Chain A
Amino acid sequence: MQWPRYLIGGLIILILQLIACEFANFWPPLYIAVIPLFIILLPNNTNTYLLMLCGFVIGLLTDALADGVLGLNAAACVMVAATKSIVIKPLVKYDAQSTSIAVSSREFSWRKFLPLLTICYTLFFAIYLTLDGLGSHSISFFFVRLALNLSVNVALAYLLESLWIGRYFS
């Protein structure tokens, strides 16, 4: 039974996210997001309903505890959770999907894991930035902000995953 382990992992990621919100989000256009990692790293065969619920809860907790706009992170996490299985399908073999292996750079190669991270983070920030800005900036600003957030967060997530979180979840 791996769930207590994942629960503790989720809690650690939530704490990391809160620390990031408190100390690392110093420039408004840049948002450091760690919580999508939790959804990405949960085992391959996790039920999508459960995954969406996990995304909703961890997103909501982040919004509530980090003094953000309630629902912003939750909406973005639900998006990642709902599309994870669709994104992962072309990246792993069919038989691997039915096993309970964790999604990590060790199980996948970095060539597969990095595109997965990038797509999931793109979806996360597409929702997050849309709801955060909601037409108050131009479309070009939105794309610049998306590119900036993606490059910083994907690099950070890959680093975190390969250094520690990935090993914990595997």
Chain B
Amino acid sequence: MKLPPLIYNSIGKFFFFILLELACILLVMNNGDVQKSRIMNRVRSFQTFFWKINTSVKNYTNLKKLNAELSQENAKLLSLNTLYKEQIIRQQGEQKLEELTAAMRQNLGDSTLTNYRFVLAKVVKNTINTEHNYLVIDKGREDGITEDLGVITPSGVVGIVRAVGAHYSYVLSFLNQKQHISAKVGQSQALGTLLWEGKNIKGAVLTGIPLSEDVKQGDIVYTSGSSAFFPPDIPVGYAKTSTIEDGIHKRVDVELILNYSTIDYVIVVKDLARAEIEALINDNR
């Protein structure tokens, strides 16, 4: 179909106008620092809006899988709960279990019993294809998020909050060569440093394990809790093969439990004791 010359001409003029205006805006951005930062802010807010839509669609299509994972998690927690109950009954009797359960129910929701506060957040943007990956989550300063908070899921460590906006936060992913996590492995809970080497998103390495420690294939790697970012005992991965590093340490290949490509929701961890600990360290330096 041929367009009438008037419409054809108008479209041409419109595109020429857009072209010139874009050239002008690029010039303004390159020559005015204030204008550049303001324009980039606007562009980023548009980007976030589209990421949000994109993620909503992805989350919706992923619901079936998410449900299955949650059911699995639930089943795992139920079996753990039963195990703990049986242990208490075996060691201290049924009466003690009832007392403990009653006390727990009474204190349920009393957040002063724990050192951690958890904030659930939705992932708006998640990169996994570069050597320096990041996430954007939909909770920010107004939700009580601050910089340097740990971000986890029940099946692993996600990263650390590095920048906070009013409603969104930028999380430096664990899939980042700058990111190191304190972790423990095996029966003896030997401490080491878990890091991502940038090779694939399913694997990491645990370094600095003393030679005397025995690490078996299939041993679970947990967060140690000695860093200020993450609570202890979050399962991170399974030990695979171990090699000797520099003749003094063991280096263990770890298969990560968390699938970083399908993270929909994360938990931001606020360690309430952290400020006190940091103040103590600073005072005694």
Q: A25-61 CB contact bits vs B (8 Å, 1 = yes)?
A: 0000000000000000000000011001100100110
In the complex, are the beta carbons of B35 and A134 less than 8 A apart?
Answer: yes
Which chain A residue has the least Cβ–Cβ distance from B37?
A134
Q: When A49-B13, A70-B30 are in contact, do A56 and B35 touch as well, CB less than 8 Å? A: no
Interfacial chain A residues near B28, Cβ < 8 Å: 69-72, 75, 131
B281 CB to nearest chain A CB (Å): 41
Q: In chain B between 190 and 239, which residues have their CB closer than 8 angstroms to a CB of chain A?
A: none
Any B CB within 8 A of the CB of A14? no
Q: How far is the CA of A48 from the CA of B20 in the complex (A)?
A: 13
Count of interface residues, chain B, beta-carbon cutoff 8 Å: 21
Q: When A71-B25, A71-B26 are in contact, do A135 and B20 touch as well, CB less than 8 Å? A: no
| Chain A residues near B (Cβ < 8 Å) | 48-49, 52-53, 56, 59-60, 63, 69-72, 74-75, 78-79, 82, 131-132, 134-136
B258 CB to nearest chain A CB (Å): 39
| Chain B residues near A (Cβ < 8 Å) | 12-13, 16-17, 20-21, 23-28, 30-32, 34-35, 38-39, 41-42
Chain A interface, >50% SS class: helix
Which chain A residue has the least Cβ–Cβ distance from B22?
A75
Q: How far is the CA of A49 from the CA of B26 in the complex (A)?
A: 20
- Kindly identify which residue among B31, B38, B42 contacts A71, using a CB–CB cutoff of 8 Å: B31
Q: How far is the CA of A136 from the CA of B32 in the complex (A)?
A: 13
A54 CB to nearest chain B CB (Å): 11
In the complex, are the beta carbons of A78 and B31 less than 8 A apart?
Answer: no
Interfacial chain B residues near A59, Cβ < 8 Å: 24
Which chain B residue has the least Cβ–Cβ distance from A48?
B13
A to B CB contacts below 8 Å, 15 in the list: A52-B20, A56-B23, A63-B27, A71-B24, A71-B25, A71-B26, A71-B27, A72-B32, A74-B23, A78-B21, A78-B24, A79-B21, A134-B34, A134-B38, A135-B42
